[in-house]
Amino acid sequence: MSAEATMTYGALVGGGRFRVLGKLGKGAMGAVYRARQEATGQEVAIKVMAVGGEEADSLVQRFEQEAKVLATLRSTNTVRMIDFGRTEDGDLFMALELLVGQPLDVVLRDLGRTGTAMTEACSVAMQVLRSLAEAHGKGLVHRDLKPGNLFLVDEGLGDPVVKVLDFGIARVAESGLTSAGQMLGTPTYMSPEQWQAQGKTDHRADLYSLGCVMYCCVTGQPPYLANGPVFQLMSAHLQAPIPDPRALAKHPLSDGFVHIVRTAMAKDPGQRFADAKAMREALQALVGGAWAGTPVSLAHRAADAVQTPTLDTATRVEARPDAAGEQEDRTIAKPREAFEDRTMATSRHRFPSPVPDLTLAATPRPPARSTADEEPVVAPARGAPRALLAVVACALVAAAAWWVLGRKAPAPVAPASPAPVAPAAQPIAAPAEAPAPPVAAPAEPPPA
């Protein structure tokens, strides 16, 4: 279809299989029309892709190969392809299911910097990963995941279904149809290997883009902003540290959520999740498997849309460092909002509860004494050292007097020196020359 050509109301497409009812919009690679399938009467979306230029043959070959793969996808989270072929003008067309709802970028735009709740971002991501797991399993890499290509379908049941759209620049792995030097994708969400135009871009590029989408969901903006020249954005994706979404998020985020986002966004594809299934399992473990009933706010009130899943008790355990080797200690969630993360294949990992553990460590006690009636000696307050010395001196004098009277003979009394006061509570001993019995009345009255 040429730039000037249009498809008018009532026009037939695909040898009369579809009738155009109106125009829905226009994208970078063509226009989208509302149409009716003549055989069944169902309404569909017809995407028409212009063919021309030096790469026309390559485009047609890629389109036909990908269309055949798309036709085999059955995930409820992938827009369903009904038919494909050539228009009467020789352009490519694809008939897709007609969706009712809103694209995620519109929802995020209306929410502004408030963003979605963490559980909403997890719900969106897990549904996207269901779509990607099937597509990746058949060798199809999307390469342009972004909020605008994620459509929230309102089925009237309260829980929108996320549909992945626009595999228009996707490539079939190992097909050789995308050569090195071709940079395809949306810059704000492109993986480092896409920026470098590496011919070996694989399914892990989609996981990077999804990590960027998750960051955008909870913060209201992409992890790296495109305010300056495009090379600055490229440099950020290639070299800049992965930002912590908690610095901008208006809703509590757990350490587990941040860890998943950072793992997905690792610069090195080898440091990301192995595949879509592994990332989805990590998210399911994070929210306790309750994602399916977590609605995404189409009324632009993300904070009121869901209740954050909770565990029965807050669990405090060691957090796993992120892929870059950094350790995050900050926790925002409330005690009953501690989440469990079991992303490791060989061990179960949880993340710290959001408040310090208030259980005091028990101080070791001295061994039990054999004398049952002995009273413990309590360490005095620091503010009264003179009173303490007076009490000690009196006790020593009384003990010495009792000893002299009980023996009926004068005995030398060693000079009394105060016993040293230890910082911890310890018994106070009498001088070595004279045993220190308890201060009490003598057993027999002294002789007159």
pLDDT tens for each residue of the chain, 448 residues long: 444 447 889 999 999 999 999 999 886 667 999 999 999 999 999 999 877 766 677 778 878 887 888 888 999 999 999 999 988 888 899 999 999 999 999 999 999 989 999 999 999 999 999 999 999 999 899 999 999 999 999 877 777 899 999 875 666 554 444 444 455 568 999 999 999 876 678 999 999 999 999 999 999 999 998 788 888 999 999 999 999 999 999 999 999 999 999 999 999 999 999 999 999 999 999 988 544 444 444 433 333 333 323 222 222 223 333 333 333 333 223 333 332 332 222 233 222 233 333 232 333 434 444 433 444 433 444 444 454 455 545 555 555 555 545 554 444 444 444 444 444 444 444 444 444 444 444 455 545 4
- What global pTM score does this model have? 0.62
Q: Where do we find the tokens 């994208």?
A: 27
Domains of the chain: 6-98 (3.30.200.20), 101-356 (1.10.510.10)
What does each C-alpha distance from 360 to 174, 188, 314, 365 come to in angstroms?
59, 48, 17, 15
Catalytic pick among 91, 110, 144, 268: 144
CA 254 to chain centre: 6
Q: What is the dihedral of CA 206, 207, 212, 214, to 10 degrees?
A: 120
Active site residue 144: yes
